[in-house]
């Protein structure tokens, strides 16, 4: 039963990432990263890839990866969530999951393992698994548009699901190809960057013509990866709020000593603990190929999303006025929680997957 | 309800509705918390004032039309239904004016009210201080008596509209010996007075809806004190009651938002969200009916009192829930900035400002339900 | 706009009922009433009919009624809700509304106005308006079964909606007729009594053969009457809880001084106030024939039901251990709120009526 | 999860599952809080004990099989999945036994544990007093030292199972001079001892799940004191931690109830309620996974500690929500008494007993989050 609790190796990995982010992704660094043209700190990303091997963890060794599992990726993502770090790891993980699932894509996987920015331009990334692609493939080229796409404007590797006469396929596109327009869109959350893509006869390489199963697996991986970010984000909001209410005094006492506030924070802790337990178990179920893995993933996603939103709302409310200033990190927690809530399907859509 | 408005009330409503239909700008004005938007909103106030719609409940001689409370709420409902611009003058006309009417001298009323009604003078409130938050009684900014007036020193924060407004109003501690809420005095002052520094605060949406104010030996003449020196707490409490009460948040705003939410649902119905959508509509409707009930009671004489706290809790939490539901409905569109995401971020300040909802719940529990106060400074374990 | 606030006459009526119930329907009396074979205190019912005219309020004067409106009935029901009084007024109001809507039923209405126990045996009474009747009418007789029916075992006047070839009709049945079986069922709430009815060729008198509109109006009246009971029940639970927490000491202070509890009771008050405002406005809209009356009724019902349930849950929780004893009234509030929640449709069913 | 149980664990599970399948009564036993039902449940305990399933985690010599914590949770999951009867012995085996193991003498262990394992002796807890409620430290019942033992006086309430049980256990104030939680002693006593009066309390569902106990000079020999005299608070706290922790509410119970709820939904699906149904299932599943995580940690050594409060809040509120959803699904059937309405009424006691959820939230806030205590008896406005 040891897989229900992170191992010592997982704990050490988490510490290593946290130490790095403490130094390189504090509040000031996050704000600087947001302002960069890429929307993230490219130096930090290089360090994450070189020192931690973040992008390579779940990629098989024969394709230049570390040959670990999604569990190790989960550990890194939870820390990135906690630090509110802008990062291309989520689309990278999703894209490599698609390629591993499709099979035989060594060269692309090697580039991703090395840190190339990769993304999957599919509305399933911001919605439920049964969302159709808005792109079609004919005569070897792609037509249509899709938005919003995670890191869509800066991706060096770009996969696009598209309809064709025989079903839904998965294609690879040169991000610099003629006919492809990529436009950064102003997101609700400045720490997660999106772009809109239009494809006007863009030449495409076939990865897999019958990609329905590949996309289902990819959606599952994306869902689980998002729960990691949500758990980290919720933990950050809770920590920040507990610290603040211990220090802030009103009516001659720390506001954290007021029982109504204590009970609300206690409820948040309960939610965060349950989220983490559910998310970790779902990741382990996926890694072990358990038959109920997709149900556990949907359950965890519905719960982690709502729990992170609840923490974020209280983070704002219990910080009071300073929460709604740009200088304070409380609003970043809120925007991150809200943005994550939509990824791979809203909680109610995840729940819909759990009933007949 | 429109159940039994009088003929006069119906005529008033029709007149307001017709004027608004003909005059509300088709395009949204730019945000009032930008330089351009501020001017555009001031121009809109001028237009309202020219047709005597800017301060309908005030007496004729200071720019109003002596409208009854019922007529005022009717006007507000029509105003929001018409999608008319936000009121850049709201701090002045809703928060300060009631105090000027009650506590101002004849000279102050003549000097301050007419330019407030036309939007020529825009007022900013200076309530909170960095260390005080919800606990107004622990304000630290000082006023020192000097020849012919006072010198203000200290810092205020969360001063709404202050980035572009002309005048400010707030409480300062004029008697450092007096305890907590004694010894405060209520001042009005120009924001360009020597010694005042205005530092805008960038908000979630990137705009400067609030500012910090720094006071460095700012001179204010005796003529600009509202009420008696030392009596500022009592004077201010009538504003606080008013701010939390009917004035700031008329139901029209939420009913209009709920209708827009139904519109979003109609475009792409998701049955799993229908309950939340209807819930928002029901809550807006309940707020409207509750507020109309209160208005009816007040029209017969009476005081909003602590029930203003019920309004505050209700509308502010309804507003957040309504916008959250909208974002859920929008799905992936909600990842991208839009008027709904802006509205959502704005709604989050509702439960915080004008007395946090925690303070409001204390008021409801203690003043309406009569529950005991938290023990303070009493003997061990005894309620104080 | 005076109709949004009860008039002086309404307030006086409420006081008269409350004075009577203070004397005749205190906690001990309610428990005695529950034990009676009828399920309510018949003497108290007579007094309510004779002194207050409770059953006659909304019945037109030409049929022996008082010629008032549902608003006055609402006032009486709210007081009965507050006192948790077992009473046949709800089925009486519903039945007379059906007869008034059908028209020309003077003799039956006169008996109801005088206090005869009347009920409507229709599953719409415990469900949404579009619920079909489980009874059919053919050859002048009724066949089928319906359960649970309010006061079904003791009703002296019994109306039954039934399907026939031409649609749905409304029929009157002699409660003592052969072929009719009436069996008291053990309800969740001992203060509201139900019976199951089976009809095996029971002769029936036609009230109205095309009763769809009659039933819709009746359902609306039932919905509004239920909100009155809910508002009263919620007020009672809140009053009881506030009083208890002011007196009960723990850790050396009244538990009502603990902020977490204060805030929860403040929320309950907000809910009760909004409920009452919404319910009263909906009743007035119905009385005035406003076009949005049915929407306001559904809105009020959804809100009053949930608000009463919320109060009831906190009434139990904040009373602690004594709440779950038979001797204490807290559980009566809970059971009443739960039983009322189902009447004329659950909150989510009421909401469903408000969206396209 | 069944992800990587050891072969031994799998064998243990299969053995339990097979025995339960063959032995669980097809018909529900009558309620254990009636005279007949109590006897029937005692007989069931005997049957469990004969096959050594009554106290799997105890050592062999006192009736157990020395099962590991993981095996214990496996057994509990199987037990609830099989729909086996409630444990009339639970106060003894879950609350008292851990204390007897930790603090009892060898003689006490020999005397009390085996008949507890067989169900021959059923134990009632005597925790609360009328004026104490959640505040155990303010207990007023007394124990006075006499020759060879003690005399108990006072009153206990909410004593579960006491209407039919044989023995009781609880805290009495043995040193009236000591402050609050000092000076308490832990006693075991027969419920038919001279001077004990048992008055059953009728509950919501009409059954006597609890009783009041009155003590009038009840003699208890020194041999029946658990731990040292005056050390009762510390002794009892290990029970309290245990009661709130894993032991009382194993996840199997809620997972089984959530599965039954899905069954109700399947019979008459109402899409508007699907979200609530799934939510209940998700919460039960989260509880199971969380608890398994805790079990894994404890298996490596460690203490439940304050996280037991997280379990308590979660399962008790999940249980209420699950039953409320069931009643909503049942619609008009919910007006009529049934196993679901009984379960609903029973669920309501969950957030109240074994330390109210308010107390649990205080513990979570103070002991896990490290938030400051409420001020008590300190100088004006200072946290104490």
Within 8 A of D365 by CB-CB distance, chain C residues are none
Instruction: State the CB neighbour count (10 A cutoff) for residue D268.
Output: 11
Question: pLDDT over 70 for what percent of chain A?
Answer: 99
CB B288 within 8 A of CB B74: no
- Kindly state the helix (H) or strand (E) to which residue D159 belongs, with its residue range: strand D149-160
CB C331 within 8 A of CB C315: no
Of the candidates C186, C316, C317, the beta carbon closest to that of D336 is on C186
- Give D378's Cβ-side CA count (13 Å radius): 11
**Residue C104 has what pLDDT?**
80
Tell how far CA A350 is from the center of its chain. Answer: 16
pLDDT mean over A257-283: 95
The model's confidence at residue D180, banded by pLDDT at 50, 70 and 90, is low
**Residue D73 has what pLDDT?**
83
Please list the residues that pair with C149 across neighbouring strands. Answer: C195
Largest CA distance in chain C: 74
Q: Does D384 touch chain A (CB under 8 A)?
A: no
Please indicate whether residue C334 or residue D33 has the higher confidence score (pLDDT).
C334
**Residue B221 has what pLDDT?**
97
Within 8 A of B353 by CB-CB distance, chain A residues are 321
**Chain D: closest CA distance from residue B376 (Å):** 6
In three-state secondary structure terms, C116 is coil
Residue D107: exposed, middle, or buried by beta-carbon count in 10 A (0-12, 13-18, 19+)? exposed
Q: Cα A209–A215–A218 angle (5° rounding)?
A: 135
Within 8 A of B335 by CB-CB distance, chain A residues are 126, 148, 187-189, 192, 194, 339, 342
DSSP letters for C91-110: HHHHHHHHHHHH---HHHHH
Is the CATH number 1.10.540.10 carried by domain C8-116?
Answer: yes
**Residue D272 has what pLDDT?**
87
Residue of chain D minimizing CA distance to B273 = D272
Q: C213-355: CATH homologous superfamily?
A: Butyryl-CoA Dehydrogenase, subunit A, domain 3 (1.20.140.10)
**Chain C: closest CA distance from residue A123 (Å):** 28
- Kindly state the helix (H) or strand (E) to which residue B300 belongs, with its residue range: none
* Active-site residue (options: D71, D78, D212, D243): D243
**Is pLDDT at C96 greater than 50 in this prediction?**
yes
Of the candidates B271, B272, B381, the beta carbon closest to that of D377 is on B381
Taking CB atoms and an 8 Å limit, are D380 and B381 in contact across chains?
no
Within 8 A of A261 by CB-CB distance, chain C residues are 259
**Residue B244 has what pLDDT?**
37
CB B375 within 8 A of CB B384: yes
**Is pLDDT at B260 greater than 50 in this prediction?**
yes
pLDDT mean over C79-96: 98
Torsion of CA D253, D255, D261, D263, to 10 degrees: -110
Calculate the average pLDDT of chain A.
94
**Which of C81-85, C136-140, C326-330, D46-50 is predicted with the least confidence, judged by mean pLDDT?**
C326-330
**Which of A200-204, B250-254, D41-45 is predicted with the least confidence, judged by mean pLDDT?**
B250-254
Please indicate whether residue D40 or residue D81 has the higher confidence score (pLDDT).
D40
**Chain C: closest CA distance from residue B74 (Å):** 11
Residue of chain D minimizing CA distance to A292 = D1
**Residue D223 has what pLDDT?**
97
Instruction: State the CB neighbour count (10 A cutoff) for residue D367.
Output: 13
Q: What is the pLDDT of residues B158-208, one digit of tens each?
A: 788 888 999 999 999 998 887 766 789 999 999 999 999 999 887 666 676
B382 is catalytic: no
Place of tokens 């409304």: C170
The model's confidence at residue B378, banded by pLDDT at 50, 70 and 90, is very low
Best interface-test mutation with B: which of D377, D380, D381, D383 has the largest number of B CBs within 10 A? D377
Does the interface predicted TM-score (ipTM) exceed 0.90?
A: no
| DSSP-derived pairing of the beta strands C249-250 and A253-254 | unpaired
Calculate the average pLDDT of chain D.
86
Best interface-test mutation with B: which of A122, A148, A321, A344 has the largest number of B CBs within 10 A? A321
Q: What are phi and psi of D349, to 5 degrees?
A: -80, -15
pLDDT mean over B131-147: 80
Gap between the Cα atoms of A311 and C28, Å rounded: 46
Place of tokens 């028209």: C103
**Is pLDDT at B382 greater than 50 in this prediction?**
no
Count helices and strands in chain D by DSSP H and E runs:
12, 8
Q: Which of C8, C1, C278 lies closest to B299 in space, CA to CA?
A: C1
**Is pLDDT at D377 greater than 60 in this prediction?**
no
**Residue D247 has what pLDDT?**
45
Q: Does B377 touch chain D (CB under 8 A)?
A: yes
| DSSP-derived pairing of the beta strands C194-208 and C167-173 | antiparallel
**Residue C355 has what pLDDT?**
84
Question: pLDDT over 70 for what percent of chain D?
Answer: 88
- Residue ranges covered by each domain of chain C: 8-116, 119-211, 213-355
The model's confidence at residue C291, banded by pLDDT at 50, 70 and 90, is confident
DSSP letters for A256-277: GGSHHHHHHHHHHHHHHHHHHH
Q: Does C262 touch chain A (CB under 8 A)?
A: yes
pTM of the full structure: 0.87
Tokens of D69: 């914590």
Taking CB atoms and an 8 Å limit, are A316 and B348 in contact across chains?
yes
The model's confidence at residue A313, banded by pLDDT at 50, 70 and 90, is very high
**Is pLDDT at B377 greater than 60 in this prediction?**
no
Question: pLDDT over 70 for what percent of chain C?
Answer: 99
Tokens of A241: 């709020």
Q: Which of B243, B208, B237 lies closest to B316 in space, CA to CA?
A: B243
**Chain B: closest CA distance from residue A5 (Å):** 33
In three-state secondary structure terms, D57 is coil
Please list the residues that pair with D168 across neighbouring strands. Answer: D124, D189
Gap between the Cα atoms of B81 and B83, Å rounded: 5
Give me the CATH topology for the region A119-211: Butyryl-CoA Dehydrogenase, subunit A; domain 2 (2.40.110)
Q: Does A145 touch chain B (CB under 8 A)?
A: no
In three-state secondary structure terms, C335 is helix
Residue of chain B minimizing CA distance to C2 = B296
Cis peptide before A148 (omega within 30 of 0): yes
**Residue A345 has what pLDDT?**
94
pLDDT mean over B57-77: 89
**Residue D239 has what pLDDT?**
54
Q: What is the pLDDT of residues A110-126, one digit of tens each?
A: 999 999 999 999 989 99
pLDDT mean over C74-100: 98
Gap between the Cα atoms of D120 and A13, Å rounded: 53
Calculate the average pLDDT of chain B.
86
Residue of chain B minimizing CA distance to C289 = B3
Tokens of A168: 């839904």
Q: Which of C178, C217, C169 lies closest to C201 in space, CA to CA?
A: C178
Within 8 A of A255 by CB-CB distance, chain C residues are none
Of the candidates A4, A253, A275, the beta carbon closest to that of D293 is on A4
């Amino acid at each position: 039963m040891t897989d229900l609790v992170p191992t010592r190796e997982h704990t050490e990995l988490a510490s290593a990432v946290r130490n790095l982010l403490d130094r390189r992704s504090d509040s000031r660094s996050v704000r600087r990263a947001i302002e960069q043209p890429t929307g993230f700190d490219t130096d930090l990303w290089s360090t994450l890839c070189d020192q931690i091997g973040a992008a390579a963890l779940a990629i098989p060794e024969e394709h230049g990866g570390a040959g670990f599992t999604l569990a190790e990726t989960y550990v890194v993502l939870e820390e990135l969530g906690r630090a509110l770090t802008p990062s291309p790891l989520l689309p990278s993980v999703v894209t490599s999951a698609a390629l591993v699932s499709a099979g035989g894509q060594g060269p692309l996987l090697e580039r991703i393992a090395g840190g190339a920015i990769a993304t999957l331009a599919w509305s399933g990334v911001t919605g439920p698994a049964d969302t159709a692609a808005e792109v079609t493939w004919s005569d070897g080229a792609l037509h249509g548009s899709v938005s919003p796409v995670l890191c869509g404007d800066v991706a060096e590797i770009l996969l696009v699901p598209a309809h064709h006469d025989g079903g839904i396929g998965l294609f690879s596109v040169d991000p610099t190809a003629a006919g492809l327009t990529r436009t950064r869109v102003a997101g609700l959350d400045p720490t997660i960057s999106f772009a809109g893509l239009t494809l006007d006869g863009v030449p495409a390489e076939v990865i897999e013509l019958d990609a329905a199963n590949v996309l289902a697996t990819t959606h599952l991986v994306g869902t689980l990866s998002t729960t990691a970010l949500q758990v980290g984000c919720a933990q950050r909001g809770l920590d920040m709020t507990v610290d603040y209410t211990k220090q802030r005094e009103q009516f001659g006492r720390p506001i954290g000593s007021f029982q109504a506030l204590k009970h609300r924070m206690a409820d948040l802790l309960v939610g965060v603990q349950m989220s983490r337990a559910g998310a970790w178990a779902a990741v382990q179920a996926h890694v072990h190929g358990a038959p109920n893995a997709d149900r556990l993933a949907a359950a965890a996603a519905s719960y982690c999303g709502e729990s992170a939103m609840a923490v974020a709302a209280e983070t704002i409310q219990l910080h009071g006025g300073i929460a709604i200033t740009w200088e304070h990190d409380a609003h970043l927690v809120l925007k991150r929680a809200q943005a994550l809530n939509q990824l791979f399907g809203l909680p109610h859509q995840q729940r819909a997957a759990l009933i007949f | 309800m429109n159940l039994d408005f009088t003929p006069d009330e119906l005529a008033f409503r029709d007149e307001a509705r017709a004027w608004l239909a003909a005059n509300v700008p088709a395009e949204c004005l730019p945000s009032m918390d930008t330089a351009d938007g501020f001017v555009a909103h001031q121009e809109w106030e001028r237009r309202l004032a020219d047709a005597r719609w800017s301060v309908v409940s005030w007496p004729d001689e200071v720019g109003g039309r002596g409208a009854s409370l019922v007529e005022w709420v009717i006007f507000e409902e029509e105003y929001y239904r018409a999608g008319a611009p936000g009121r850049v003058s709201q701090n002045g006309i809703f928060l300060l004016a009631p105090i000027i009417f009650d506590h101002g001298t004849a000279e102050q009323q003549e000097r301050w009210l007419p330019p407030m009604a036309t939007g020529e003078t825009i007022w900013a409130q200076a309530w909170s201080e960095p260390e005080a938050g919800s606990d107004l009684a622990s304000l630290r900014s000082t006023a020192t008596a000097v020849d012919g007036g006072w010198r203000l020193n200290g810092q205020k924060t969360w001063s709404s509209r202050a980035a572009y407004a002309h005048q400010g109003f707030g409480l300062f501690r004029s008697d450092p010996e007096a305890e907590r809420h004694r010894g405060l005095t209520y001042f009005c002052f120009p924001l360009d007075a020597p010694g005042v520094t205005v530092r805008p605060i960038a908000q979630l949406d990137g705009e400067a809806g609030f500012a910090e104010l720094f006071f460095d030996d700012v001179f204010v003449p005796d003529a600009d004190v509202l009420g008696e020196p030392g009596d500022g707490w009592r004077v201010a409490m009538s504003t606080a009651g008013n701010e939390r009460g009917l004035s700031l948040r008329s139901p029209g705003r939420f009913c209009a938002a709920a209708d827009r939410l139904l519109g979003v649902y109609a475009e792409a119905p998701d049955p799993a969200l229908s309950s939340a959508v209807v819930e928002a509509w029901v809550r807006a409707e309940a707020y409207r009916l509750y507020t109309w009930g209160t208005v009816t009671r007040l029209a017969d004489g009476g005081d909003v009192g602590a029930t203003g706290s019920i309004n505050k809790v209700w509308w502010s939490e309804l507003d957040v829930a309504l916008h959250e539901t909208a974002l859920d409905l929008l799905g992936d569109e909600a990842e991208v900035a839009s008027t709904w995401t802006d509205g959502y971020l704005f709604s989050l300040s509702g439960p915080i400002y004008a007395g946090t909802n925690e303070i409001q719940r204390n008021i409801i529990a203690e003043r309406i339900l009569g529950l005991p106060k938290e023990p303070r400074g009493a003997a061990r374990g005894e309620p104080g």
